[in-house]
Amino acid sequence: MGTTSGPASDGTSAERAPHIADGVASTGSPTQPQEGPADDDGRGESLNQRLDRNWQEMLQELRVMQTGIQILTGFLLTLPFQSRFEELDDVQVAVYLCLVCLSALITALVLSSVNLHRVLFGLRVKSTLVRHTAAIIRTTIALVGLVLAGTAWLIFDLVVDRTAGLVVGASLLLVVMLLWVVYPLAVRRRALRNRI
């Protein structure tokens, strides 16, 4: 009996150097993700598992946003059928039409992530899907903030007066920026500092 050598070379992924493309480690081809570890965050998941988890979390975020967007858009679409709609002046009508267009754009943005998934399905480029969906979510959140502030402005402008509308709209926009931009960035900075 002679000594046994290592396993015969069969071209497995263990013997090939990983290739990084679009943030996905793959073996020689950007269409074949490698199941190597993502990084040491204590989860013990591969890069593909992390991308799958990120995608599922993004879908949950989109579902939450979609409900709010549907309610807001539905409210805006019913306004022309209210008796007081005829009382709107030219400025109020222009703002209302801008809000409807923004709401339609938000709906299209949310649905575009689903269409993007359909187009990229089976190509093994989940990192691309996750990256672009993250950009879609950020854009959607920004536009929702504008629609919320604009809707508050329109309601207070119609019910009280223009000054009240401007004060409430600007105040709500400021609160939205604090809650959706400043606060999350502060939490992120603190979390990153605690990791070091």
Print pLDDT tens along the chain (196 aa). Answer: 544 444 444 444 433 333 334 344 443 444 444 444 555 556 778 888 888 888 888 888 888 888 888 888 888 888 888 888 888 899 999 999 999 999 999 999 988 888 888 888 888 888 888 899 899 999 999 999 999 999 999 999 999 999 999 999 999 999 999 999 999 999 999 998 887 6
Number of domains, the chain: 1
Asked if 173 contacts 179 with a C-beta cutoff of 8 angstroms, the reply is no
CA nearest 64: which of 178, 132, 121, 141? 141
14 domain residue, yes or no: no
Q: Is there a domain that residue 129 lies in?
A: yes
pTM of the model: 0.69
> C-alpha distances in angstroms, 16 versus 5, 10, 47, 90?
19, 10, 17, 67
Whether 77 is in a domain gets the answer: yes
Radius of gyration of the chain (CA): 25
How far is Cα 129 from Cα 134, in angstroms, rounded to an integer? Answer: 8
Residue 39: its pLDDT value, please?
A: 56
On whether the CB atoms of residues 176 and 151 are closer than 8 A, the answer is no
| pLDDT at residue 11 in the model | 43
Give the tens place of pLDDT for each residue, 72-89.
888 888 888 888 888 889
Whether residue 66 is contained in a domain is answered as: yes
> Does 117 fall in a domain?
yes
Q: Is the dihedral angle over the CA atoms 141, 142, 147, 152 positive or is it negative?
A: positive
Q: Which pLDDT belongs to residue 196?
A: 66
Pair of tokens at residue 111: 């649905």
What's 85's DSSP letter? G
Domain that holds residue 147: 47-195
